[in-house]
Structure 1
Amino acid sequence: MKDTPLSNCERDFLLRAISEKKRLDGRQTYDYRKIKITFGTDYGCCFVDLGKTRVMAQVSCELVAPKESRPNEGIMFFNIELSPLASPAFEQGRQSELSVKLNRQLERCLRNSKCIDTESLCVVSGEKVWQIRVDVHMLNHDGNLMDAASIAAITALCHFRRPDVGIQGDEVTVYPPEERDPIPLSVYHMPISVSFSFFQQGTYLLVDPCEREERVMDGLLMIAMNKHREICSIQSSGGIMLLKEQVMRCSKIASVKVSEITELISKALENDKTVRKAGGRCGFAESVPEERITALKVDETAVEMTDVMDGANDIVQKVEAPLENVPSPVVPVPGVGQVGEGLQNSWGLEEVDDNMEENDNSGEEQEEEVTKMEEVYEERDHRAGDVVEISDSEEEEVVILHPEEPAKAPQHTGPSSQQKGAAKSKRKQKKK
């Protein structure tokens, strides 16, 4: 399965961000991602997290016959496995161009640099030597696999312990760890690879490129160096032409990064040694529970429940008695009809009837109030005189003026005869 290619928009966005000296994860140009080193339960097992790139290295050994050309030296063997678990672009059981390139670079970095004393691996000259095998498995691919693989491999070699052997005549005895303590390997120095990616024909430079930055880069330069500033190997890929000044600049940056990574590896090895010597729990399996959801759980706190009832009774006694409920006027709920003595549905009535029902007066009081209102209206009509007469029609008003008096503006002093008749009919219906 091939990996999904980048779109033109993503490519242009990445190149523009790099030209503005900005990166996707907020790092600066020469910054490395966060490096985390953990060890397995057995010696020689190491996990390295470089950002989201995750690599596991496992070192093993066995007694084999030496090479004819070098009968007094042990054998170093390196193998890098690109599993589909790390990326859908990797295929199982098939060596790709990337895996071949990584294997060759790792061999140049560790075996050709003579970082391990291979002569100390000889048991019987010409007959038995130790073969040290380093298997590097890619667990997650997010760019810069070479740097993560080199850190994991050299850390695993420093952490590994081979069994002790005894020779009696022609017989070779391998002692288990219970009888004799295993022996560490002789490591002279720690070569570590540092990758540099170039963009726009070498105009821009980045350290520790991520997976998306590797897709748009024009060239890659890998420099393997130790903390003594000795270059162990150097390799350029991508067909880009680099100047001498660019290579020297990258070597100076690599010397600083290698010193920092070497110090980190030394601290991790020292901490693991201290924990194992104290008999504490160690290894990768111990770090797994720390990443669970319940890792930050808080211990249960005991709560005193003996005097809860007494406290509740005291609170109840101290509280004042509630006030008596005052009967509220009966108000019809919208959508519900209420029928009772002297109570009818009041929806659709005019303002006078609404006020009468809100006050919830008796029938006699309502009649007296209406009678008073009629008297008031009659007094107003008597004062104004029969100047204005309003017909019963709701559509138009007819104004009749007496010829003896001058014209006056129409005055509306009270309700019309039609409104009075409607109010009287409603009152009669209520009485019924």
Structure 2
Amino acid sequence: MSRNTEISTNERTYFIEALKCGLRLDSRRFDEIREPQISLSKTEFGYVELDWGLTKLAVRVSAQIGKPYEDRPFEGLFQINCEISSMAWAHFDNSKNSNEEILIARIIEKAIRRSNSLDLEALCIIAGEKVWNITVDLNFLNFDGNFVDVGCFGAMLALHHFKKPDISIVNGGEDIIVHDIDERQPVPLSILHVPICLTYSFYNPGNKESNLKGEDDDEIYLLDANLIEEQVREGSIVVTLNKNRELIQLSKNGGIPISANVLLDLSFKSMKIVDELTELIKKVISKHEKERYEELNLKMLEVGADR
């Protein structure tokens, strides 16, 4: 559980005055995200390390064979686990599951599973008996704001990178054989679209009738808030979109009110960023697959030369 922390009055005042002048403390634009730095494992499918500014995340995807729900015999299982330890930030208490961890996992799982981003029917092995159970473990290693956006992007990246073992059904469908990845090429997951979460922060110092506005009298909202920006904000909203211009989710947990015009404005602005992040995932995965394919060919040539 996160212990309550507050920044000093001087820091808060300086931050608010900077916003009124159109400035952020890290020199980003109000609608600019931090640049993701991605590291994909070459030895383990589904393991990704992501640096989002100073927020650091490790994601691991695993697959086990289990039994489907009785009311959904043709669908596999999918779940997300989130862990935030005091190593990420000293003010987090890891003695038990916190509300932050539950909320983050719930928002990301809703974005992926309820939007049918992951094809659960493709995870079915034997209807009503055996299906793949896909688990995504999010482990935050350092915290500098914006858990939800970083977690969702990391989860989708890891799901694209993950491959499950190939299987064979024998004895008339009574038994299955799970093949080792050295015996048969593993199979990638069927992903129908890529949901991207974007979190906007709003400010209203003094609980005035209208939210904080800049010099041009436009309401101020920040995309991808860092730690200080999150500590000062009075409200936030998570917008989940995909490249098909589909609005998947709006999540607002209390806080100050947001006008409909502002909501429409930030939704339209989000589309460009969603396109960029989606293309980044595809580009990184494509490059990784190409490098892996070249390494496999090189190993095969070396084996042939040894013979």
Please say whether Structure 1 and Structure 2 have the same fold, judged by a TM-score greater than 0.5: yes
Q: Does 1:60 align with 2:62?
A: yes
Check if 1:194 corresponds to 2:198.
Answer: yes
Name 1:251's counterpart in structure 2: 267
Q: In structure 2, what is the equivalent of residue 35 of structure 1?
A: 36
Shift of 1:3: 5.9
The alignment partner of 1:227 has SS state of: coil
Match of 1:227 among 227, 230, 243: 243
Q: Which residue of 2 aligns with 1:79?
A: 81
Root-mean-square deviation (Å): 1.3
Q: What does the per-residue CA deviation read over 1:387-415, in whole Å, with 9 as the maximum and x for residues that have no partner?
A: xxxxxxxxxxxxxxxxxxxxxxxxxxxxx
Distance 2:257 2:22 in 1: 22
**Alignment partner of 2:102: what SS?**
helix
Number of the residue aligned with 2:165: 163
**Residues 383-402 of structure 1 aligned to structure 2 (within 5 Å):** none
Task: Report deviation, 1:93.
Answer: 3.8
* C-alpha separation in 1, matches of 2:239 and 2:270: 7
Give the letter aligned to residue 184 of structure 1.
Answer: P
Q: Is the 8 A contact 1:165 1:175 kept in 2?
A: yes
Does residue 237 (structure 1) correspond to residue 227 (structure 2)? The answer is no
Cα distance in 2 for residues equivalent to 1:237 and 1:73: 31
Q: What is residue 16 of structure 1 aligned with on the other side? A: 17
SS at structure 1 position matched to 2:252: strand
> Hey, what does 2:8 align to over in structure 1?
7
Question: Alignment length, in residue pairs?
Answer: 280
1:61-88 superposed Cα distances (whole Å, 9 cap, x missing partner)? 0000111110110000111111111111
Quick one: distance in 1 between partners of 2:254 and 2:115? 24
Distance across 1 between alignment mates of 2:4 and 2:87: 13
Q: Equivalents in 2 of 1:76, 1:186: separation in Å?
A: 13
Shift of 1:104: 1.1
Separation in 2, partners of 1:72, 1:237: 34
**Corresponding residue number in structure 1 for 2:182:** 178
Corresponding residue for residue 25 of structure 1: 26
Rounded to whole Å, the distance in 2 between the matches of 1:248 and 1:120 is 35
Q: Secondary structure at the match of 1:12?
A: helix
Partner of 1:69: 71
Note the alpha carbon deviations across 1:363-390, whole angstroms, 9 max, x for none: xxxxxxxxxxxxxxxxxxxxxxxxxxxx
CA positional deviation for 1:243: 1.2
Contact 1:2–1:88 (8 Å) recurs in 2: no
1:256-275 Cα deviation digits (max 9, x unpaired): 11001111111111111111
Q: Equivalents in 1 of 2:98, 2:65: separation in Å?
A: 31
Look up the SS of the partner of 1:279 in the other structure.
helix
Aligned match for 1:207, one of 196, 209, 223: 223
Q: Which residue of 1 aligns with 2:304?
A: none
- For the residues of structure 2 that align with 1:2 and 1:108, how far apart are their CA atoms? 26
Matched residues in 2 for 1:229 and 1:80: separation?
28
Q: For residue 115 of structure 1, what is the aligned residue in structure 2?
A: 117
Distance 1:256 1:42 in 2: 32
| 2:24 alignment partner AA | R
Quick one: distance in 2 between partners of 1:98 and 1:2?
11
Q: Is the 8 A contact 1:136 1:149 kept in 2?
A: yes
Question: CA separation in 2, counterparts of 1:171 and 1:37?
Answer: 39
* Cα deviation 1:161-181 (Å, max 9, x = unaligned): 000111112111100011111
TM-score by length of 2: 0.88
Residues 311-330 of structure 1 mapped to structure 2, 5 A cutoff: none
Q: CA deviation at 1:190?
A: 0.5
Paired residues of 1:218 and 1:238 also in contact (CA < 8 A): no
Does the residue aligned with 2:240 lie in a helix, a strand or coil? strand
Post-superposition offset of 1:5: 2.2
The letter for the 1-side match of 2:280 is L
Q: Secondary structure at the match of 1:197?
A: strand
- Compare the two structures and name the one with the higher strand fraction: 2
Any residues of structure 2 matched to 1:349-360 within 5 Å, and which? none
AA aligned to 1:192 is I
Q: Which has the larger radius of gyration?
A: 1
Q: Which has the higher contact order (CA 8 A, sep 6+)?
A: 2
Alpha-carbon distance in structure 2 between the residues aligned to 1:93 and 1:129? 33
Cα offset, 1:250, TM superposition: 1.0
1:363-374 aligned at under 5 Å gives the runs: none
Between the aligned partners of 1:225 and 1:218, the Cα distance in structure 2 is 24
> Once the two structures are aligned, what percentage of the paired residues are identical?
34
* Residue type of the alignment partner of 1:124: I
Q: TM-score, normalised by structure 1?
A: 0.63
Shift of 1:239: 2.2
Maintained 8 Å contact 1:166/1:172:
yes
CA drift at 1:238: 3.7
1:286-325 alignment, distance < 5 Å:
none
